[in-house]
Amino acid sequence: MKVSKWYNNSDIRIEEIPTPSPGEGEMLVKVHSCGICGSDVVEWYRLPRAPLVLGHEVGVEVVEVGAGVSKYKVGDRLFIAPKVPCMKCRYCLKGNFPQCSEVKDRLPGGFAGYILVPKELVNNGCYLLPDNVSYDQATFIEPLACVIRAQRLALIERGQTVLVLGSGMSGLLHVKLADNKHCKVMATDINHSKLEMAISSGADYVTTANTDILEQLVQVNGTKADAVIVTTSAMSALGQAWEAVDMGGVVVLFAVPEPGKEVIVPFNDFWRKEIRIITSYYCGPSDIDEAIALISYGEIIVDDLITHRLPLEDTARGFQILLDGEEAVKIIVRPHEG
């Protein structure tokens, strides 16, 4: 089978490897769709494990099950989590699943014809796709689950004003979810086509990122934001977040600057204002369940975010399009097409 192996963002190679066959408790699944995630192109995050096959936003079909697998059968349509928490360690017991210290098996990358699913993930990491959820839609399950978790941790609820800084894939999912919760939503980006997508995703107001966001926010909303969600690693967004968050509000660092970048936080100013700053990374099993339900019930429409569908051979081009940032929102690689 063919895999797309990532050495770095400018060196992605199509390589031929033997198609694995499932051992006891394992499964072989065919990759129909795999999304390129914003985190896939972050070199400092990915390089320590390179070279590797990336891709963790998958829609797959079971084509072979190993001995002892009874939970799934050939033909089942699945989303598979990239890793599963143990549910037993002190982090899991407190619901801090992304920090689980016992993760052993990771899902091999989805930019490949097939994936050999390890036993642990067969047992606890697979989710049957409802009939009305397509393989392409399945690629949104993991990113939406991360967004769901972030907004849950931030205690975002109906009636609040939510400012989303950055309207790429995750920013737009934040807009959609906050809109679904009946929040007042404002979004920014440096790119005009992204701002148009933010409007069609439910933002009540959008503005270019390089303007005085605070002034506009107060003008249209009357107050600062209850929650500011940072989905870009641009340093300027942090200053805007500190400025635009209201007293008692929260800044969610969904994306962070590169390692080593020094950030100044006005803690003295925040003290009496009781402004919370939280980070959010990855998601947990209940977030994945919720993401599947929201997509299946049509509560969150994702199809309009798909801008590119590419064959496996074009993975490198897909990475480049996402890095260029202009037109791309969601790029889906379809290993068995083209």
Can residue 150 be called a binding residue for Zn ion (CB under 5 A)? no
Provide Rg for the chain, Cα atoms.
20
Q: What are phi and psi of 185, to 5 degrees?
A: -120, 130
Instruction: Give the shortest CB-248-to-Zn ion separation in angstroms.
Output: 31
Q: Which residue number, 129 or 245, has a Cβ lying nearer to Zn ion?
A: 129
Can residue 89 be called a binding residue for Zn ion (CB under 5 A)? yes
Among 3, 92, 164, 165, binds Zn ion (CB under 5 A): 92
**What would the 3-class secondary structure string for 148-171 be?**
HHHHHHCCCCCCCEEEEECCCHHH
Among 47, 52, 86, 190, binds Zn ion (CB under 5 A): 86
Cα distance from N-terminal residue to C-terminal residue, the chain: 15
Can residue 274 be called a binding residue for Zn ion (CB under 5 A)? no
Among 55, 85, 108, 110, binds Zn ion (CB under 5 A): 85
Count the site residues for Zn ion by CB under 5 A: 7
Q: Which residue number, 91 or 270, has a Cβ lying nearer to Zn ion?
A: 91
Site for Zn ion in 26-45 (CB under 5 A): 37
How many residues are present in the chain? 338
Q: Which residue number, 64 or 105, has a Cβ lying nearer to Zn ion?
A: 105
Can residue 100 be called a binding residue for Zn ion (CB under 5 A)? yes
**What would the 3-class secondary structure string for 94-144 be?**
CCCHHHCCCCCCECCCCCECEEEECHHHHHHCEEECCCCCCHHHHCCHHHH
Can residue 84 be called a binding residue for Zn ion (CB under 5 A)? no
Q: Are strands 77-80 and 126-128 parallel, antiparallel or unpaired?
A: antiparallel
Give me the residues paired with residue 31 across strands.
60
* Stretch in the footprint of Zn ion (CB under 5 A) among 89-97, 224-232, 252-260, 322-330: 89-97
Instruction: Give the shortest CB-54-to-Zn ion separation in angstroms.
Output: 10
Q: CA 145, CA 164: separation in Å to the nearest integer?
A: 17
Enumerate binding residues for Zn ion (CB under 5 A).
37, 85-86, 89, 92, 100, 102
